[in-house]
């Protein structure tokens, strides 16, 4: 009888996370003898969580807020993206070493690629300059985006995020209108019913949209945000945020298992979980 291995999510709060559903569905579909758990770990206890990983022999960790920066500082080494971001969402083993990786931004690039959207050479506008935006900017730069314009209410934070990619610069509303791809990497619109959304619930003025654009919202609750609905009305191609969540998890499993999981199974499990809420 094979011994089941355990991977887990650490963060706080974690009770509404889709990660357990997504990962377990992929493990089960591939008949991999792994289980996935979620542990609510209070801020400031990342070191203890990594110690538990070593002691218990956990096979891998997913990391969410508020631990991404602390875990990056505590692992034995980092991959290139995690080192640039000083943040990681994944911990894996390499011999006796714990390796921190960042798959968030790469998850977005992979999600777009699955939909036939190649970001290489494109003009991208990113709204926001927080953790999600930084991971996206880093990944877009690595994927060969032609230009990245970062639009944020605080120019200083935008300028800091721009240092992650040579082609990034602080942008404004005009850059949103000119972009091939527009990404909302802020939390604006999260949990807002599209039927009752107000202008303040939109990351930008939808009058800026162009029919030829790809408009991506990293928010996935609701799946069709008010902003994406406006993009569709303008004739733009709307891409929801669930794809990034699925693909960053798929990349985690690829690191842990050296095999690519079935992202269709993962998406179906996530959609069913969201519909049940």
How far is the CA of 194 from the CAs of 190, 201, 206, 221, in angstroms? Answer: 10, 9, 14, 11
Selecting among 36, 62, 63, 68, the annotated active-site residue is: 68
Pairing of strands 5-11, 60-63: parallel
Omega of the bond leading into 13 within 30 degrees of 0 (cis)? yes
The answer to whether residue 123 is catalytic is no
Q: Which of 140, 148, 151, 135 is nearest to 204 (CA)?
A: 151
How far is the CA of 257 from the CAs of 9, 44, 198, 222, 238, in angstroms? Answer: 16, 29, 45, 31, 32
Number of neighbours of residue 79 by Cβ within 10 angstroms: 16
Q: Please name the residue that has the structure tokens 């974690």.
A: 14
Compute the CA torsion angle 13, 135, 246, 118 (nearest 10 deg). Answer: 160
Pairing of strands 147-151, 123-127: parallel
Q: How is 23-56 classified by DSSP, letter by letter?
A: HHHHHHHTT--EEEEEEE--TT-HHHHHHHHHHH
| 18-43 residues labelled b (16+ CB within 10 A) or e (exposed) | bbbbbbbbbbeeeebebbbebeebee
Structure token pair of residue 26: 């992929």
Structure token pair of residue 177: 């209108």
Active site residues: 68
């Amino acid at each position: 009888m094979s011994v089941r291995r355990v991977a887990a999510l650490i963060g706080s709060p974690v009770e509404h996370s889709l990660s357990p559903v997504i990962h377990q569905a992929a493990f089960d579909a591939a008949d991999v003898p792994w289980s996935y758990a979620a542990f609510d770990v209070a801020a400031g206890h990342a070191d203890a969580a990594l110690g538990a990983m070593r002691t218990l022999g956990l096979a891998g960790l997913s990391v969410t807020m508020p631990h991404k920066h602390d875990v990056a500082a505590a692992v034995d080494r980092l991959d290139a993206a995690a080192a640039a971001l000083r943040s990681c969402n994944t911990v894996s083993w390499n011999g006796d070493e714990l390796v921190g990786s960042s798959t968030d931004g790469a998850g977005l690039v992979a999600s777009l690629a699955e939909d036939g959207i190649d970001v290489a050479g494109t003009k991208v506008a990113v709204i926001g300059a927080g953790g999600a935006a930084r991971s996206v900017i880093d990944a877009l730069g690595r994927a060969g985006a032609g230009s990245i314009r970062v639009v944020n209410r605080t120019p200083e934070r935008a300028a800091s995020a721009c240092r992650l990619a040579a082609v990034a610069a602080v942008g404004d509303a005009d850059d949103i209108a000119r972009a091939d791809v527009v990404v909302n990497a802020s939390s604006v619109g999260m949990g807002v019913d599209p039927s009752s959304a107000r202008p303040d619930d939109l990351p930008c003025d939808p009058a800026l949209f162009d029919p030829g654009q790809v408009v991506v919202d990293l928010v996935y609750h609701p799946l069709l945000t008010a902003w994406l609905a406006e993009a569709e009305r303008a004739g733009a191609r709307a891409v929801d945020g669930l794809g990034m969540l699925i693909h960053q998890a798929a990349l985690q499993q690829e690191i842990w298992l050296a095999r690519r999981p079935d992202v269709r199974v993962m998406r179906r499990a996530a959609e069913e979980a969201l519909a049940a809420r």
